[in-house]
Amino acid sequence: MIAFWATAGVLSAAAALLVLMRAARAATLAEPADPMPVLYRRQLAEIGELADRGLLGAAERKSAEAEAARRLLDAADRPSEVWSAASPRGVILLGAVSVPAALALLLYLGLGAPGMADQPFEARLTHWRAVSPTELSPPQMAAVLQRLTRERPDDPEGYRFLALAEGASDNPAGAARALRQAVRLAPDRAELWEMLGEALMLQAGGQMTADARAAFNQDLKLDPKSAAARFYLAQGQIAAGDRAGGLAAWRALEADLPPDDPRLPRLRRAIAEAAAQPAPAAGPALSADQLTAIRGMVAGLAARLRVKPDDPDGWVRLVRAYAVLGETAKREATLKDARVRYAGRPDILDQLSQAARTEPMR
């Protein structure tokens, strides 16, 4: 705190000194010389050069020179001001530097956080590593584990813990990234593949993706009994339109699970829901918050395309987004615009039509 205020004082003093030194020097400086003669001489030289190049006849040269001379005389005739080099009273100069310094102090006290220490990441990390893990929040834990995995890059267990911490911090992308390292180091651990599959699905907002499916398949290959893998793969099957196949896989899983398995009620609920669903079910329903967020992103995309319309991918995404949201009118309007814009691009037109056919979600 003292060091801070001392340094701040030194800074203010340095600024004040700069002002005073400059003022003190001014009294000894002569008035800058009149630049007009120099300009005049230079203009004469340029006139000569033009004449030399044959761009100016003799008569023009004369009149140009006369004009330059007239301007020189004009400038010389103008009355020049007399400035005083006398030093103003000391009070004024003192005020000139102390008032700003005081103002700076007031401004800073109003806007700054006096004495607040820097908090560089390294120092905070060192502190988190020193305290007991139970006192850390999941993101802090993840930061510590991140560093640990960097120090021990060959330990799959480190990555697994990192993935758990990232998952608890609502960062499925970070979890998936850690798990990808983990399965690279320990490719025969089924539960790591299962975690990876789940993380990838979370990252995709609950949707089954090709990468997630590959992870679950790997999990099943290593552990044919893996309930999670069987559950999600079947869910993916249903989402992709194969309701009968998915339901059959779920029923088989239901039969294989021991009767006291805690996952059974959830599975049975899923089976009941899927069986009652008339249309092919998409992924899990989105919450109102998620929907609002998605609508916001779509509006942002639409706005961006208005400004930068030359973005075929963007148009395809926008059409697909309206289709998914079930906003048919907007979908059609956007589709029409985009079709006109890319009339000469069959590849884009194909993608647009495909996007427009996307099923709306529930």
Partner 1 sequence: MIAELGAFALALALAFALAQLVLSAAGRIRRSTVLAAAGEGAALAVFGAVALAFAALIHAFVTSDFSVANVAANSHTEKPLLYKVAGAWGSHEGSMLLWCLALTGYGAAAVAFGRSLPRPLKASMVAVQGALATVFLAYTLFASNPLARVADPPVEGRSLNPLLQDPALAIHPPFLYAGYVGMSVVFALAVAALIEGRIDAAWARWVRPWTLAAWSLLTVGITLGSFWAYYELGWGGWWFWDPVENASFMPWLAATALLHSAIVTEKRGALAGWTLFLALAAFSFSMLGAFLVRSGVLTSVHAFAVDPTRGVLLLIILGVTSGAGFALFAWRAPKLAQGGVFAPVSRESALVLNNILLAAATTTVLLGTLYPLIREAVTGEPISVGPPYFNLTFTPLMAALAILLPAGPLLAWKRGDAAGVLQRLWVAILIALAAGLLAYALVSPRKAFGAAGLAMGTWIIAGGIAELIERTRGFRVAPAESLRRLVRLPRGAWGMTLAHLGLGVFVLGACFETGWKAERAETLPLGGALDVGGYHLVLDAVSDVDGPNYEAERATIRATRDGAPICVGQPERRFYPAGGQTTSEVAICYRGASHLYIVLGERRETATTPVWLVRAYWNPWATLIFLGPVIMGLGGLISLSDRRLRLGVARRRELPA
- Note whether 289 binds partner 1 by CB under 8 A: no
Nearer CB in complex with partner 1: 208/270: 208
Residue 167: CB atoms within 10 A of its CB come to 21
CA distance 182 to 159: 5
- Which residue type does 162 have? L
Which one of residues 76, 88, 266, 269 is an interface residue with partner 1 (CB under 8 A)? 88
Site for partner 1 in 197-216 (CB under 8 A): 210
C-alpha to C-alpha distance for 250 and 269, rounded to whole angstroms: 11
In the complex, what is the shortest distance from the CB of residue 250 to partner 1, in angstroms, rounded to a whole number? Answer: 23
The neighbour count for residue 93, using CB atoms within 10 Å, is 16
Q: Site residues for partner 1, window 219-278 (CB under 8 A)? A: none
The residue from 62, 69, 76, 112 that contacts partner 1 (CB under 8 A) is 112
Q: Which two tokens stand for residue 39?
A: 């300009």
For partner 1, give the closer residue by CB, 106 or 252.
106
User: Between residue 20 and residue 49, which ones bind partner 1 under the rule CB under 8 A?
Assistant: 20-23, 25-27, 29, 31-33, 35-36, 38-39, 41-43, 46-47
- DSSP calls for 147-179: HHHHHSTT-HHHHHHHHHHHHHTT-HHHHHHHH
**Which candidate, 290, 312, 231, places its Cα nearest to that of 265?**
231
By C-beta, is 19 or 343 nearer to partner 1? Answer: 19
First to last CA, the chain: 59
Report the nearest approach of partner 1 to the CB of residue 17 (Å). 9
Q: Does 53 bind partner 1 (CB under 8 A)?
A: yes
Q: How far is the CB of 143 from partner 1 (least distance, A)?
A: 5
Closest CA relative to residue 185, chosen from 151, 142, 152, 220? 152
- Largest pairwise CA distance in the chain: 115
Q: For residues 114 and 224, which CB has a smaller minimum distance to partner 1 in the complex?
A: 114
70-74, Cβ contacts within 8 angstroms, sequence gap of 24 or more: 71/40, 72/36, 72/37, 72/40
Picking from 192, 269, 183, 201, the residue whose alpha carbon sits closest to that of residue 226 is 192
195 vs 267 by CB, closer to partner 1: 195
- Of residues 104 and 324, the one with the C-beta less far from partner 1: 104
Min. distance of Cβ 188 from partner 1 in angstroms?
20
In whole angstroms, what is the distance from residue 21 CA to residue 86 CA? 15
Q: How many residues bind partner 1 (CB under 8 A)?
A: 102
Within 125-184, the residues that bind partner 1 by CB under 8 A are 137, 139-140, 142-143, 171, 173-174, 177
Looking at residues 317 to 356 of the shown chain, list those that interact with partner 1 (rule: CB under 8 A): 345, 347-348
Question: Does residue number 85 form part of the binding site for partner 1 (CB under 8 A)?
Answer: yes
